[in-house]
Structure 1
Amino acid sequence: MKGIISYDAMETIRNTNEWLGATARAIGGYPAFALAPNPMFRMMAAWGKVTERSFSRMVIKPDWEIPAIAGEDGQDHIVYVEPELKRPFGDLIRFRVARRDPKPRKVLLVAPMSGHYATLMRSTVTSLLPDCDLYVTDWHNARDIPVSEGKFDVEDYTAYLVDFIRHLGPDVHVIAVCQPAPLALAATAILAEDTPEAQPRTLTLIGGPVNPDAAATEVTDFGNRVTMGELEHLVIQSVGFKYRGAGRMVYPGLAQLGSFIAMNAENHAKAFADQIFAEARGTASEGDKHNRFYDEYLAVMDMTAEFYLSTVERIFKNLEIAENRFEVNGRSVDIGKITSTAVMTVEGANDDISAPGQCVAALDLCTGVPDARKAQHLEPGAGHYGIFAGKSWRLNIRPLVLDFMDEATSQPETQATRKRRRSRQAQDDCGVNDPMDSGKIAV
């Protein structure tokens, strides 16, 4: 009962702040107050609008809103998001591009389950769609999953990835971003041992904690300072009565959001203050940078308690992946069994979530993969967000990943195709900067 009360208390605080924002916006915007030449009312309305929007977004799952893809024939091809496989804790979804022939690259983008929805990777999806047939793991909010569906921990997550990869076939290219990188590595090893012909063609790991001890960060230091008992007592709560998953033990999204913001509190405070003044001056808009960024950043989801705790204990504390001691359902997973899959790692030089060294450790674990089928890239000046969704990804990393896929499958692009692709990408990025391109988004 204590956990449920705490969970509902957080939701009550969120709901109250949303209501206060709506009230301030309505009062400050009351027509009669326009007769009083006092900027207080305009500031009140601006504060209310920003506050209401911010707190309401915390319980809304964002839409993908993928724009149409321009074809070489000059036509726009509409993108449809369709479920490929449905599972209780997460679906495999497909981005079907209407009236377009299948692309030679079939890509599975493994989204992290770390507090944000898979839509956090919207820009990554948009950048890959012109050149790939794309599938994404769409994880569900634990608060909406009934207790009767059972548990979901790192072993279940790995089993989901095995099923998804096997379903897509051996011609698939897997890209795992941050948290799922070590588990995608384990899933590939399971396929390599059980059905070697089902191994994916390539596995690209981006900013993932394969060996968290390789380079210390604030995240790894926290995991080492806190015991599992303390962690469970401090952050694990029961879903409140309002949701279908009432009674399920979770790490609440609102609690995670508080830790996300605390990691970079000064920048966030300045961003919201600037937005309030922009609203008061009338220079803010529905689709401006602030709203686009924070509509996604503030949308958080609950994680099952067993997934969060097993991730901390087995991946960060016990280093089961880093030391090749990981087990799934009682069977040992030997990463050295991976043989035919080409493996690439990508890291950001300024990544303070998964620091350089943590992800590239995967290459040493893949003892069965020839050195000629291994690659690594360290992006100068890039933070965590930038290496998979920012300008660094679009301009530098994305072309390298696509070329790696082509080289690994002996299906290289023609020089004209590669030139056309990079030219189009450069035009798209000309003069465009992502908000917080090097910022801290914990995924």
Structure 2
Amino acid sequence: MRYLATYDLMETVRNTNQWLGATAQAIGEYPMFALAPNPMFKMLSAWGEVTERSFARMVAKPDWGIYTVVGADGRDHVVNVKKVIERPFGDLIHFEVAGRKTKERKILIVAPMSGHYATLLRSTVASLLPDAEVYITDWHNARDIPVSKGKFDIEDYTLYVVDFMKELGPDTNVVAVCQPAPLVLAATAYLADIDPEAQPQTLTLIGGPIDPDAAATDVTDFGDRVTMGYLEKTAIQRVGFKYAGVGRSVYPGLLQLTSFMTMNAEKHAKAFSDQIMAVARGEAGDHDKHNKFYDEYLAVMDMTAEFYLTTVERIFKEREIAKNEFVVAGRKVDIGKITDVAVMTVEGSKDDISAPGQCLAALDLCTGLPDEKKNHHLEDGAGHYGIFAGKSWRNNIRPFVLNFMDQHAGEHAAQASKKKAAKTKPALKAV
């Protein structure tokens, strides 16, 4: 690649900053300097602590950290993370609650593959766990996947979601957060064509770019402004020798993180300067608000080059989902074929990534769906993060989503059961 540092050089810069932070902290905390009551040493140590922690988190996959959940009996039940399906580029995992009767609600959360791990939705999972059996897609870091495992683009992503839906059955409630919303909509339409009985009973799309042109943001403006050739030359790198995916073309998580940070540079700069002062004063904690947020925010993962480039080209530039022209494995997907899956869209009025109107476009595409199976919620004052993990989610959106699921519970599953029985009857008569 040209114009940017190589993958190994970027990792070297990150590693050097981590080392500088650790060194500064060690020097600032050297016992001898305690004899000199100079605040410079406390500031040096505080800067080092914050710097070392920040750069170390960039290459660490966070733990789910969900250990127990309170059951209806008032007891704490242990939560075990179980893999239901294992694939090279992502797994389907289940948060199994030990000693608790299986919940009737079954929820599949489709996590975004946009630079962060699925653990970004930890609070979303934790909020739903007391009331449902929760499953989630756990996408893998492309740097750790050998080249021998092949490619992974948006069509492969869609087919993964199709297989996960099939595994869980027609009584599943699917929730797609941000980036996967258009692909999950396409996966449902794909099933409506090839295996309608395997579709989920409800589909909730939260802050996703179904039609990026419906409302302009910095993200959509970037997609319109940059050519694919320029993007491939400047953003794509090959994984270095340190990782199992050596040689694989990826869009590095560190580049994505840089994009995230520059979008709100002043806000992030103030947050880190405030944290350094808090550490120097002895007021910071290992799990304080700053560390809790940035430990997750700074933990980034690489995306395969083909996934990143096809997302930009086919979702944002060509708008294949918005135009109902998306093709998966040679089969054209017709979103109008979704006829009995209840669909709801959720947006935040202050969302600066997927602005209001982008996700709502999904309902217009569902031409075969009756109005009583469509719903929309616009959360006033909520930003992008808030609509799936913040106060707005906890207080308003979550209850709204659960009510929507309950309202349509059993409808599609009952129809799927009847259709399946009708298909098997002729076979039985023939026997």
User: TM-score, with normalisation over the residues of structure 2?
Assistant: 0.94
Specify the SS of the correspondent of 1:269: helix
Rounded to whole Å, the distance in 2 between the matches of 1:240 and 1:2 is: 16
Superposition map of 1:236-385 within 5 A? 236-385=236-385
Specify the SS of the correspondent of 1:129: helix
Contact 1:171-1:200 within 8 A present in 2 as well: yes
Indicate the residue corresponding to 2:87 in structure 1: 87
Superposition map of 1:24-423 within 5 A? 24-409=24-409
Rounded to whole Å, the distance in 2 between the matches of 1:23 and 1:210 is: 47
Contact 1:4-1:247 within 8 A present in 2 as well: no
Contact 1:208-1:358 within 8 A present in 2 as well: yes
Rounded to whole Å, the distance in 2 between the matches of 1:161 and 1:3 is: 36
Rounded to whole Å, the distance in 2 between the matches of 1:213 and 1:179 is: 15
Rounded to whole Å, the distance in 2 between the matches of 1:238 and 1:22 is: 29
Rounded to whole Å, the distance in 2 between the matches of 1:259 and 1:69 is: 36
Please report how far the alpha carbon of residue 258 of structure 1 lies from its aligned counterpart in structure 2 after TM superposition: 0.6
Contact 1:3-1:238 within 8 A present in 2 as well: no
Rounded to whole Å, the distance in 2 between the matches of 1:232 and 1:124 is: 34
Contact 1:120-1:297 within 8 A present in 2 as well: yes
Rounded to whole Å, the distance in 1 between the matches of 2:343 and 2:386 is: 21
Contact 1:67-1:126 within 8 A present in 2 as well: no
Contact 1:344-1:375 within 8 A present in 2 as well: yes
Contact 2:28-2:42 within 8 A present in 1 as well: yes
Contact 2:335-2:366 within 8 A present in 1 as well: yes
Specify the SS of the correspondent of 1:307: helix
Specify the SS of the correspondent of 1:353: coil
Rounded to whole Å, the distance in 2 between the matches of 1:4 and 1:228 is: 16
Rounded to whole Å, the distance in 2 between the matches of 1:148 and 1:68 is: 38
Please report how far the alpha carbon of residue 72 of structure 1 lies from its aligned counterpart in structure 2 after TM superposition: 2.0
- 2:41 counterpart letter in structure 1: F
Rounded to whole Å, the distance in 1 between the matches of 2:154 and 2:70 is: 39
Please report how far the alpha carbon of residue 27 of structure 1 lies from its aligned counterpart in structure 2 after TM superposition: 0.4
- 1:191 counterpart letter in structure 2: L
Specify the SS of the correspondent of 1:376: strand
Aligned residues: percent identity? Answer: 73
Rounded to whole Å, the distance in 1 between the matches of 2:82 and 2:278 is: 38
Contact 2:237-2:252 within 8 A present in 1 as well: yes
Please report how far the alpha carbon of residue 340 of structure 1 lies from its aligned counterpart in structure 2 after TM superposition: 1.1
1:333-364 CA distance string (max 9 Å, x none): 00011111000000000001000000010001
Q: Where in structure 1 do 4 or more consecutive aligned residues deviate above 3 Å?
A: 1-5
Please report how far the alpha carbon of residue 388 of structure 1 lies from its aligned counterpart in structure 2 after TM superposition: 0.3
Please report how far the alpha carbon of residue 16 of structure 1 lies from its aligned counterpart in structure 2 after TM superposition: 0.2
Rounded to whole Å, the distance in 1 between the matches of 2:120 and 2:137 is: 12
Rounded to whole Å, the distance in 2 between the matches of 1:221 and 1:244 is: 35
Specify the SS of the correspondent of 1:368: coil
Rounded to whole Å, the distance in 1 between the matches of 2:335 and 2:286 is: 47
Please report how far the alpha carbon of residue 103 of structure 1 lies from its aligned counterpart in structure 2 after TM superposition: 0.6
Indicate the residue corresponding to 2:424 in structure 1: none
Indicate the residue corresponding to 1:414 in structure 2: none
Please report how far the alpha carbon of residue 83 of structure 1 lies from its aligned counterpart in structure 2 after TM superposition: 0.5
1:128-159 CA distance string (max 9 Å, x none): 00001000000000000000000000000000
Rounded to whole Å, the distance in 1 between the matches of 2:266 and 2:164 is: 40
Specify the SS of the correspondent of 2:113: coil
Rounded to whole Å, the distance in 1 between the matches of 2:235 and 2:277 is: 35
1:81-132 CA distance string (max 9 Å, x none): 1111000000000000110011111000000000000000000000000001
Contact 2:88-2:149 within 8 A present in 1 as well: yes
Please report how far the alpha carbon of residue 67 of structure 1 lies from its aligned counterpart in structure 2 after TM superposition: 4.0
Please report how far the alpha carbon of residue 202 of structure 1 lies from its aligned counterpart in structure 2 after TM superposition: 0.1
Rounded to whole Å, the distance in 1 between the matches of 2:210 and 2:5 is: 36
- 2:301 counterpart letter in structure 1: M
Rounded to whole Å, the distance in 1 between the matches of 2:410 and 2:234 is: 51
1:43-80 CA distance string (max 9 Å, x none): 10110000000000000000000141111212101111
- 2:381 counterpart letter in structure 1: G
Please report how far the alpha carbon of residue 234 of structure 1 lies from its aligned counterpart in structure 2 after TM superposition: 1.1
User: How many residue pairs align between the two structures?
Assistant: 411
Rounded to whole Å, the distance in 1 between the matches of 2:134 and 2:72 is: 18
1:372-405 CA distance string (max 9 Å, x none): 0100000000000000000000000000000000
Contact 2:2-2:233 within 8 A present in 1 as well: no
Specify the SS of the correspondent of 1:96: strand
